[in-house]
Amino acid sequence: KNQVEQSPQSLIILEGKNCTLQCNYTVSPFSNLRWYKQDTGRGPVSLTIMTFSENTKSNGRYTATLDADTKQSSLHITASQLSDSASYICVVSDSYGANNLFFGTGTRLTVIP
Protein backbone atom coordinates (compact mmCIF):
# COMPACT_ATOMS: atom_id res chain seq x y z
CA LYS A 1 0.00 0.00 0.00
CA ASN A 2 1.35 3.42 -0.94
CA GLN A 3 1.86 5.47 2.20
CA VAL A 4 3.65 8.63 3.34
CA GLU A 5 4.44 9.06 7.02
CA GLN A 6 5.80 12.19 8.62
CA SER A 7 7.42 12.86 11.95
CA PRO A 8 7.22 14.49 14.32
CA GLN A 9 3.51 15.26 14.24
CA SER A 10 4.22 18.63 15.84
CA LEU A 11 7.28 20.59 16.87
CA ILE A 12 7.95 23.77 18.84
CA ILE A 13 11.30 25.55 18.49
CA LEU A 14 12.81 28.87 19.47
CA GLU A 15 13.27 31.53 16.85
CA GLY A 16 16.72 31.33 15.29
CA LYS A 17 17.13 27.60 15.91
CA ASN A 18 17.39 24.92 13.24
CA CYS A 19 15.07 21.95 12.87
CA THR A 20 14.64 18.85 10.73
CA LEU A 21 11.38 17.25 9.67
CA GLN A 22 11.20 13.64 8.47
CA CYS A 23 9.24 11.89 5.75
CA ASN A 24 9.21 8.11 5.12
CA TYR A 25 7.34 6.63 2.21
CA THR A 26 6.44 3.29 0.67
CA VAL A 27 5.23 4.68 -2.65
CA SER A 28 6.39 2.61 -5.60
CA PRO A 29 7.37 3.13 -8.33
CA PHE A 30 8.78 6.44 -7.21
CA SER A 31 8.65 9.49 -9.45
CA ASN A 32 9.28 12.54 -7.29
CA LEU A 33 8.93 13.92 -3.78
CA ARG A 34 7.64 17.36 -2.90
CA TRP A 35 7.60 19.41 0.27
CA TYR A 36 4.83 21.95 0.80
CA LYS A 37 4.36 24.66 3.40
CA GLN A 38 0.79 25.33 4.48
CA ASP A 39 0.03 28.37 6.60
CA THR A 40 -3.10 28.19 8.74
CA GLY A 41 -6.15 28.84 6.61
CA ARG A 42 -4.19 28.94 3.37
CA GLY A 43 -3.48 26.53 0.54
CA PRO A 44 -0.21 24.58 0.43
CA VAL A 45 2.73 26.28 -1.30
CA SER A 46 5.51 24.29 -2.95
CA LEU A 47 8.98 24.46 -1.39
CA THR A 48 10.93 21.82 -3.33
CA ILE A 49 10.47 19.03 -5.87
CA MET A 50 13.05 16.24 -6.06
CA THR A 51 13.33 13.42 -8.55
CA PHE A 52 15.02 10.07 -8.07
CA SER A 53 18.45 11.34 -9.07
CA GLU A 54 18.49 14.34 -6.74
CA ASN A 55 19.88 13.97 -3.22
CA THR A 56 19.42 17.51 -2.02
CA LYS A 57 17.67 20.69 -3.04
CA SER A 58 17.58 24.07 -1.36
CA ASN A 59 15.10 26.93 -1.38
CA GLY A 60 16.46 29.74 0.76
CA ARG A 61 16.62 28.55 4.37
CA TYR A 62 14.88 25.30 3.44
CA THR A 63 16.97 22.30 2.40
CA ALA A 64 15.39 18.99 1.42
CA THR A 65 17.27 15.72 1.19
CA LEU A 66 16.22 12.48 -0.44
CA ASP A 67 17.48 8.95 0.01
CA ALA A 68 15.60 6.90 -2.59
CA ASP A 69 17.22 3.67 -1.38
CA THR A 70 15.85 3.93 2.15
CA LYS A 71 12.77 5.88 0.96
CA GLN A 72 13.37 8.72 3.34
CA SER A 73 13.39 12.47 2.97
CA SER A 74 14.07 15.30 5.36
CA LEU A 75 13.37 19.01 5.35
CA HIS A 76 15.90 21.10 7.24
CA ILE A 77 15.02 24.65 8.23
CA THR A 78 17.92 26.90 9.14
CA ALA A 79 17.75 29.94 11.42
CA SER A 80 14.01 29.63 11.92
CA GLN A 81 11.77 32.67 11.81
CA LEU A 82 8.34 33.27 13.30
CA SER A 83 6.93 33.15 9.78
CA ASP A 84 8.08 29.55 9.44
CA SER A 85 5.24 28.54 11.75
CA ALA A 86 3.07 26.36 9.52
CA SER A 87 2.32 22.77 8.56
CA TYR A 88 4.87 21.10 6.33
CA ILE A 89 3.48 18.39 4.08
CA CYS A 90 5.46 15.71 2.25
CA VAL A 91 3.95 14.52 -1.05
CA VAL A 92 5.23 11.57 -3.08
CA SER A 93 4.33 10.87 -6.70
CA ASP A 94 4.37 7.50 -8.41
CA SER A 95 3.36 8.83 -11.81
CA TYR A 96 1.43 5.60 -12.19
CA GLY A 97 -2.17 6.54 -12.69
CA ALA A 98 -4.33 9.60 -12.85
CA ASN A 99 -4.21 10.18 -9.11
CA ASN A 100 -0.51 9.90 -8.59
CA LEU A 101 0.08 12.01 -5.49
CA PHE A 102 0.26 10.60 -1.97
CA PHE A 103 0.10 13.09 0.89
CA GLY A 104 1.51 12.85 4.38
CA THR A 105 -0.52 14.27 7.25
CA GLY A 106 2.07 16.97 7.84
CA THR A 107 4.26 18.27 10.66
CA ARG A 108 2.90 21.26 12.53
CA LEU A 109 5.84 23.60 13.29
CA THR A 110 5.53 26.43 15.77
CA VAL A 111 8.37 28.93 16.11
CA ILE A 112 8.28 30.96 19.31
CA PRO A 113 10.21 34.13 20.14
State the residues that interact with other proteins by CB under 8 A.
31-32, 34, 36, 41-46, 49, 51, 89, 91, 93, 95, 97-101, 103-106, 108
For the bound state, the minimum distance from the C-beta of residue 79 to other proteins, rounded and expressed in Å, comes to 25
For the bound state, the minimum distance from the C-beta of residue 105 to other proteins, rounded and expressed in Å, comes to 5
75 vs 56, 65, 78, CA distance in Å? 10, 7, 10
Distance from first CA to last CA of the chain, Å, rounded? 41
What is the Cα–Cα distance from 37 to 99, expressed in whole angstroms?
21
For the bound state, the minimum distance from the C-beta of residue 40 to other proteins, rounded and expressed in Å, comes to 10
Judged by beta carbon, residue 30 or residue 111, the one nearer other proteins is 30
Give me the residues paired with residue 4 across strands.
25
For the bound state, the minimum distance from the C-beta of residue 16 to other proteins, rounded and expressed in Å, comes to 27
Judged by beta carbon, residue 56 or residue 95, the one nearer other proteins is 95
What residue type is 33 in one-letter code? L
Judged by beta carbon, residue 42 or residue 61, the one nearer other proteins is 42
What is the Cα–Cα distance from 6 to 55, expressed in whole angstroms?
18
